[in-house]
Amino acid sequence: MSIKPIRLFGDPVLREKAQPVKDFDKELRILVKDLQDTMMEAPGAGLAAPQIGVGLRVFTYYVDGTLGHLINPDLDLSEDLQDGEEGCLSFPGIYYDTPRALRVVAKGFDENGEPVTIEGSELLSRAIQHETDHLDGILFIDRMDRDQRKLALKAIREAEWAGQAPVVKQSPHATFGRAL
């Protein structure tokens, strides 16, 4: 298990839809551990596999002292909304208000293929929605209203990391041709 480089905004892998996990094997358990280690080191509230260059539907989260992961998530969102500050490990130092559903019921699987249901509100709901968006190639700036997105894009252009060529490394995990 190891800390992996996090892909930054501009890397094409962040805009691709991840493929469903079919094999719940040792490689998947290593991927989950790598995601958790990388997220905790960063630190962050969540990290999706595409953020480390692996195009599979897997994410980890760490909210209110709870460390978890979800594979092949399917979300049921509340109609009640929340608006709050959101950031992303692929956008270092960038934080903006982003609307999200207040509550979520997320169904999927754990690393052993066992069914999992996670119910959460506020920050947990926000983290699950954010990471699931990553699995669909959607970034948090896509959820902002026009004015917020304009401000965020300006901040991104001015960021120290902006314009850096994406770091592309070979994944040590079996990616079945779904990694760049």
What CATH number should be reported for the domain holding residue 29?
3.90.45.10
164 Cβ neighbours under 8 A, 6+ residues apart: 8, 10
Q: Which of 27, 131, 158, 160 is catalytic?
A: 131
Q: What per-residue confidence (pLDDT) applies to 172? A: 46
Band (pLDDT 50/70/90 cuts) for residue 161 is: confident
Is the pLDDT at 168 greater than 50, yes or no? Answer: no
Over residues 94-147, the pLDDT tens digits come to 999 999 999 999 999 999 999 999 999 999 999 999 999 999 999 999 998 888
Determine the structural domain holding residue 105 and report its residue range.
12-158
Band (pLDDT 50/70/90 cuts) for residue 153 is: confident
Bridge partners (DSSP) of residue 98 are 84
Residue that wins the pLDDT comparison between 11 and 180:
11
Q: What per-residue confidence (pLDDT) applies to 163? A: 67
In a domain, 92, yes or no: yes
In a domain, 169, yes or no: no
Q: What per-residue confidence (pLDDT) applies to 1? A: 58
In a domain, 167, yes or no: no
Q: Any catalytic annotation for residue 131?
A: yes
Where b means 16+ CB within 10 Å and e means fewer, 123-147 reads bbbbbbbbbbbbbebbbbbebbeee
Residue reference for tokens 């805009």:
15
In a domain, 2, yes or no: no
If phi > 0 it is left, if psi is from -120 to 50 it is alpha, else beta; for residue 140 that is: alpha
CB count in 10 Å sphere of residue 179: 20
172 φ, ψ (degrees, to nearest 5): -80, -5
In a domain, 180, yes or no: no
In a domain, 178, yes or no: no
Query: Which of these, 110, 140, 105, 138, lies nearest to 121 by C-alpha position?
Result: 105
Tally the C-alpha atoms within 13 A of residue 86's C-alpha that lie toward its C-beta: 29
In a domain, 177, yes or no: no
In a domain, 25, yes or no: yes
What is the count of structural domains for the chain?
A: 1
